[in-house]
Structure 1
Amino acid sequence: MSSNSSNLAVGYAASCVAILLFGSNFIPLKKYDTGDGMFLQWVLCAAVWLVGLLVNLLLHCPKFWPFAMLGGCIWATGNIAVVPIIKTIGLGLGILIWGSFNALTGWASSRFGWFGMEAEEVSSPLLNYIRAGLAVVSAFLFLFIKSEIPSTACSADTTPLMSKPVVSQTQDPCSWVDRLPTAHRRPVGCSLAVASGILYGSTFVPVIYIKDHSRRNDSMYAGASEYDLDYVFAHVSGIFLTSTIYFLAYCAAMRNSPKLYPEAVLPGFLSGVLWAVATCCWFVANHSLSAVVSFPIITTGPGFVAAMWGVFMFKEMQGLQNHVLLGLAFCTILAGVLCTAFSKV
Structure 2
Amino acid sequence: MNILNNEIFENVTTSTANPPHNEFPIWAGYVSVIISVIFFGTNFVPAAKYKIGDGVSFQFFLCCGIWVTGVVVHIIVGNYYFYPLVIVGGVLWTTGNVLSVFVIPINGLGVSMLLWCTSNLFIGWASGHFGWFGLKAEKVEKPILNYLGVAIAVISGLIFLAIRIGKKEDDVFSIDSSQSPILNSSVEDIDNSNNPSNTTLRMRIIGYILAILSGVLFGLVFTPSTYIQDHHDQYKNATKNGLDYIFSLYTGIFFSSFIYYAIYIIMKRNRPYICVESIFPAFLSGIMWAIAEAGFIVANSVLSQAISFPLISIGPGTIAALWSILYIKDIRGSRNYIIFSIGTFIRIIAAVFIILSKPIPN
Q: What range describes the TM-score normalised by the shorter chain of this pair?
A: 0.7 to 0.9
Alignment correspondent of 1:328: 342
Instruction: Normalising by structure 2, report the TM-score.
Output: 0.77
Q: Contact between 2:36 and 2:296, CA under 8 Å: does it hold in 1?
A: yes
Alignment correspondent of 1:278: 292
1:57-91 CA-to-partner distances (Å, cap 9, x unmatched) read 1222432111101111111123346789999759x
Q: What is the letter of the counterpart of residue 104 of structure 1?
A: F
1:80-137 CA-to-partner distances (Å, cap 9, x unmatched) read 46789999759xx998875554332211111111222121101111111111111221
Match of 2:189 among 149, 169, 177: 177
Alignment correspondent of 2:63: 45
Match of 1:56 among 74, 78, 86: 74
CA 1:9–1:259: 2 relative to 1, 3 Å: same
1:132 and 2:111 matched: no
Offset, 1:140: 2.4
List, as ranges, runs of 4+ consecutive aligned residues in structure 1 with deviation greater than 6 Å.
Answer: 81-88, 93-97, 173-176
Instruction: Normalising by structure 1, report the TM-score.
Output: 0.80
1:307 and 2:325 matched: no
Give, in whole Å, the separation in 1 of the partners of 2:343 and 2:119.
Answer: 14
CA 1:321–1:97: 2 relative to 1, 3 Å: farther
Alignment correspondent of 1:31: 49
Aligned with 2:357: secondary structure?
helix
Alignment correspondent of 1:120: 138
Q: Contact between 1:99 and 1:303, CA under 8 Å: does it hold in 2?
A: no
Aligned with 1:43: secondary structure?
helix
Offset, 1:198: 3.4
Alignment correspondent of 1:19: 37
Q: Contact between 1:36 and 1:175, CA under 8 Å: does it hold in 2?
A: no
CA 1:19–1:86: 2 relative to 1, 3 Å: farther
Q: Contact between 2:104 and 2:193, CA under 8 Å: does it hold in 1?
A: no
Offset, 1:261: 1.5
Match of 2:269 among 250, 255, 274: 255
Gap regions ≥5 residues in structure 1: 157-172
Q: Contact between 1:18 and 1:278, CA under 8 Å: does it hold in 2?
A: yes
1:282-316 CA-to-partner distances (Å, cap 9, x unmatched) read 22222221221111111211111001112232233
Deviates most, 256-265 or 136-145? 136-145
Q: What is the letter of the counterpart of residue 49 of structure 2?
A: K
Alignment correspondent of 1:169: none
> May I ask how many residue pairs the two structures share in their alignment?
316
1:142 and 2:154 matched: no
1:33-63 CA-to-partner distances (Å, cap 9, x unmatched) read 1111111111010111011011111222432
Q: Contact between 1:23 and 1:302, CA under 8 Å: does it hold in 2?
A: yes
Q: What is the letter of the counterpart of residue 36 of structure 2?
A: A
Aligned-pair Cα RMSD in Å: 3.3
Q: What is the letter of the counterpart of residue 345 of structure 2?
A: C
Write the mapping of 1:127-276 to structure 2, written as runs, cut at 5 A.
Answer: 127-149=145-167, 177=189, 180=192, 182-184=194-196, 196-214=214-232, 216=233, 219=234, 221-276=235-290
Aligned with 2:270: secondary structure?
coil
Offset, 1:236: 0.2
Alignment correspondent of 2:125: 107
Q: Contact between 2:63 and 2:254, CA under 8 Å: does it hold in 1?
A: yes
Give, in whole Å, the separation in 2 of the partners of 1:224 and 1:177.
Answer: 45
